[in-house]
Structure 1
Amino acid sequence: MGWDRETPFIIDLQVDAEDIDGLGHANNAVYVTWLERCAWRHSQRLGLDLVEYRRLDRAMAVVRHEIDYLAAAYEGDELQLATWIVDWDQRLKMTRHFQLIRPSDNVTLLRAQTTFVCIELSTGKPKRMPTEFIEGYGPALHALESAKI
């Protein structure tokens, strides 16, 4: 597979009939849903699920999506979406990159970057990441850094 970076976290997707818009391809809003799903599954794999977020009264909230739609996905397409944590300040911000590939022809359909900010759930205000976030998300970033060497 032609991943942009080493050691991706990958989810499998299938384009369903309800994902298709009037132009006959997957609607742009569906891609955003897929990005969210991939980020959540990666967080869950790292031990940071909704239960843990609520216990800590913290969450990583999206503040910016940058999406490059490179090719269309069609009903029935089997896809793979990868994510990497590529940057963080260990205080408030974290950045993920995403790449969506159709394995049948190895075409990259999308590249995206999402910036998250740590918030306090009870107030919705930005708040410093708890130790559990640093311990949970940190190894994913370090794995990426190690892969580049």
Structure 2
Amino acid sequence: MIEWDLPDVHELEVVVAPESIDVLGHVNNTEYLRYMERIAWQHTQVLGLGWDEYQRLNRCMVARHTEVDYLAPAYEGETLRVGTWIVENDQRITITRRYQIVRERDGLTLLRGRTKWVCVALDSGKPRRMPPEFLSGYQVTAHE
């Protein structure tokens, strides 16, 4: 059983592929960032804010700052559980997501991270206030 840091986790299962392995024989650090991006986008879609909605609203969320603590390695073929939560929403232009990556076989947490996301206009790339759809869709899912 996975012990998540926070309740009401949104989960994604990942099996470590051979191309994810670096010269040290474990998952490359950049792969963990890909896992984090993948679950953030998947969660966004579950919240009803997919690419079509982004285009209709001329808004999207882009990563501004990411912090990652790499705690233990993962290896080819291992099953990982990636979890995410929205832990902050300033109700203007930013949200913060937390992440936790856990190895399924032993429940060991391999990574903890967080990303501050900023709402920008698709046509200009400039920061813009979140539309009402973002305010309701990107609600805080867990409190730290």
What is the TM-score normalised by the length of structure 2? 0.97
Identity of aligned residues (%): 47
Partners of 2:136 and 2:99 in 1: CA distance: 22
The one-character-per-residue Cα deviations of 1:87-114 (angstroms, maximum 9, x if unpaired) are 0101011000000001101100000000
Partners of 1:16 and 1:117 in 2: CA distance: 31
Runs (4 or more) in structure 1 with deviation over 2 Å come to none
| 1:99 paired residue number | 100
Q: How many residues align?
A: 143
Q: Is the 8 A contact 2:89 2:138 kept in 1?
A: no
Q: Is the 8 A contact 2:101 2:109 kept in 1?
A: yes
Whether 1:68 aligns to 2:69 is yes
RMSD between aligned residues? 1.0
The one-character-per-residue Cα deviations of 1:106-136 (angstroms, maximum 9, x if unpaired) are 1000000000000001000000000000111
Structure 1 residues without counterparts, runs of 5 or longer: none
Aligned-pair CA distance for 1:144 = 2.3
What is the TM-score normalised by the length of structure 1? 0.93
Give runs of aligned pairs for residues 18-97 of structure 1, distance below 5 A: 18-97=19-98
Structure 2 residues without counterparts, runs of 5 or longer: none
The one-character-per-residue Cα deviations of 1:62-86 (angstroms, maximum 9, x if unpaired) are 0011000000010000000000000
3-state SS, counterpart of residue 119 of structure 1: strand
Partners of 1:95 and 1:144 in 2: CA distance: 11
Partners of 1:50 and 1:70 in 2: CA distance: 33
